[in-house]
Structure 1
């Protein structure tokens, strides 16, 4: 666990800024990344049903294959980020995802569409790991919970309004304009990413020039020489650590498992909410995601500060209870008002828990392992969505979409049991073993 002191401790100055230009651009990039993903993801079930007469199995397969290919891509992307191959992963991933998105238009069969989903997922897995890693590198450590909370808000808002936008565009104009919009979003990411890289190079050049000027103007004393030598040793150690293959951090297992369990429920939402709307005779089921986004915006400023003060334990159980309430209310909904209540509860729970998991995972690893931590976070999210779509789709085929959402509560109940066990054990653990994991291997 991360203790309150550890969560708030930092070597950064108290006045360190969070809302820098670089942070804002990174957040905007992340917004576009997931907006593109969820606009198309939510619209594919209806498109596949109307154009290919696909059943629930193929609908869930379309979601699952994309998520699984993204997981495979992140297995090597995290290590490449540690080795400094950020630009290759970022721009290579964008190019592959753009090819996959444009390929939807030319997919004349369901097999071709599934192939394009795999290609897109591979590219998405590459660049979706890069932006959060860059964000965690520039956020002051004593504001990590708050900073990743606001950064993660872009992910959650995209997951909330993306499906609503996607279903509306497809209903009004068809699937092709949706593909065009998604492709434009990826194209916009190219100049934004280039701006981030150029800005970083300029900062490094200025820092090197300042260091050179200081060394040229000052004659080092014996004390300065010792300090300089110590700094060189520390820098070399960090560099060597980055070059070594990273050992898997066991502390990532628990938050990954919890993130996986809660993501299963989202897989059922994003894959079948449109079909559930038809079954429940709800005219605009996409409004669920709009109301969900409003709830996320309401809770996010408070949840990040709670995390920084008390750690993840303050949010785990309350957030899970809200998820359960949202799913049960959704299963009972037969009107827009019912959707509103369900989305409000689910959004409050999801908005509190998702950034909690990501920040938790970032803080239990060494700084050079943040790529691995973000990869684990996104992989557990995608794996949950992928398996959730398949498992819950099978349940829906045997019962109904209404029953499916009730059965999905089981996964959140398991989340609560595991979280409660963790909290009980954490109370018996010495404070020093609960601190943030910062060391040089």
Structure 2
């Protein structure tokens, strides 16, 4: 290890130790947190099952940065490059349309064998795999409804697809020895104000009950449902609202997904996490960055990311939280987006771990709000960067912006040939 990195780490460590913070323990804890990298950042949410299918479900990717993955092997190659530049051991989050198969297979007929290439790749690298049914970009979703569709035949198709997705995820968990999180998100809703808000939600509830009725070993699969405030084509009414899924998940004992971009522009999720985990067992967290609406920008070190990390660390909620990324930016290098987003998420968690939490809680309990505020503010300028540099070096990944050189070389040698 570089002497300057070691020296800076030693000096920073002394400052933190004055407040009783065990820096080595924080780094050991950080190294155990698996963040799920979303595969759809690598190819602009195209997928491989239906190459001629237009992106739907109110989703949109802007930009045409060259070099996006066109095949499963290219996407895995790009993920390898990204993971090589990120400290720690992580997971990859797959959507159903990323099946690795030459078969012409429909979504409701997908089986674990269609993802064998992904499992073999993940097993070789010690990675976990998460999963999502793809309830968009399909002719049976072109009118904006899936699991809550009024047509029972169309609804049956999506129910069967979600059932198949849970079986696939369970197989991932069995093969890889770590649970797979299956997250159900649907685009269902109306562009203009509906007359009947209740009936579509009743249909959704019944459909979900059928999806989750099949026994799946929780040791291998964790079910989650994800809400959204609105989308393109569902500006006035979303069937799967936050309130709907909160009630559903609590009553059915499954996890809720909190996506940082799926709420009102002035609403944050950091203040919701502790409330949910007082009542719910587990939580899926989609780290994203909204800009005015759910635009899914690459995660930066903004105030909300830090507040999310602080809530998880201060409340000791990490063991019950599954963290994944969810953004798709086609205007910049696809691999750089993964690296920036993941490393920022890790940095935020580290900064939260390097706060004198016990001391701050005692000050708050004592009513010494002056000291609480002063200490919180002073720790914002503590040298966490020196601790982060040491963590990267000790994990064998590039320190600071050195990773960008590797990405640029990869772009020249690999991406430019696509």
Q: What is the TM-score normalised by the length of structure 2?
A: 0.24
Higher RCO (CA < 8 A, seq sep 6+): 1
More strand by share: 2
Q: What is the TM-score normalised by the length of structure 1?
A: 0.23
More helix by share: 1
